[in-house]
Amino acid sequence: MHIPDGVLSGAVAASTGALGVAGVFMGLRKMDYEHIARVGLLSAVFFVGSLIHVPIPPASAHLLLVGLIGILLGWAAFPALLVALLLQAVLFGFGGLTSLGANVVIMASPAVACHGLFASRIARAASPRIVFALAFVAGATGIMLSCMIAGAALFLSGREFLGAVGAIVIGHVPVMLIEGFVTGSAVAFVHNVRPELLEAPLAGAHR
């Protein structure tokens, strides 16, 4: 779902860039030094997992893992995804530099939303099946929210993108299901072997 340079209007690119900066600031403020390794690991997971693209002009479909990243990182998803998206733009030409802020907002905002909606419920879940179900919904919800934000950014940049918005949403329906399964499986595994990672996604989150 990388939006390339030259697609968004100047006003949308600037406003989403400002929101991205604010999100990264919040993420860095809430991130403790001891959690840098976790943030870096999940940034790398996103970097690798989202390299497989299926073109859906003017963007593309791929796994985002925003539900998983949000559950484990909270606000730190912003700096984690910023680094990954910047490297993808520079090294592989996915997305772009002028649209970097928009792409960060499109992917990190749903991650933070999934954290707020599902992280505490997953941590309190009484059985692995409930953990999987909640994480499945979180993964699918993350994709849905990313599609909605990307669609809004495109629509605000020009009504000629209205058809593309529909294509993005339809094209990501199977991705929602796949993402839900991957997120559910990964979170269920973490819940089984390292449940403390789910109980306190970031110690600095209370600041």
User: pTM for the complete prediction?
Assistant: 0.88
Residue 89: predicted pLDDT: 92
In sequence order, what are the residues at sequence separation of 6 or more whose Cβ sits closer than 8 angstroms to the Cβ of residue 77? 27, 42, 66, 69, 70, 108, 111, 112, 115
Helix axes 162-171, 128-157, angle to 10 degrees: 160
Has residue 106 been placed in a domain? yes
* Local confidence pLDDT in tens for the 207 residues of the chain: 688 898 999 999 999 999 999 999 999 998 887 789 999 999 999 998 887 766 655 555 678 899 999 999 999 999 999 999 999 999 988 888 999 999 999 999 999 999 999 999 999 998 999 999 999 999 999 999 999 999 899 989 887 777 777 777 787 888 899 899 999 999 999 999 988 888 755 544 444
For the chain, how many structural domains are there in total? 1
Has residue 5 been placed in a domain? no
Range of the domain at 155: 10-206
CATH of the domain at 180: 1.10.1760.20
Has residue 157 been placed in a domain? yes
In sequence order, what are the residues at sequence separation of 6 or more whose Cβ sits closer than 8 angstroms to the Cβ of residue 116? none
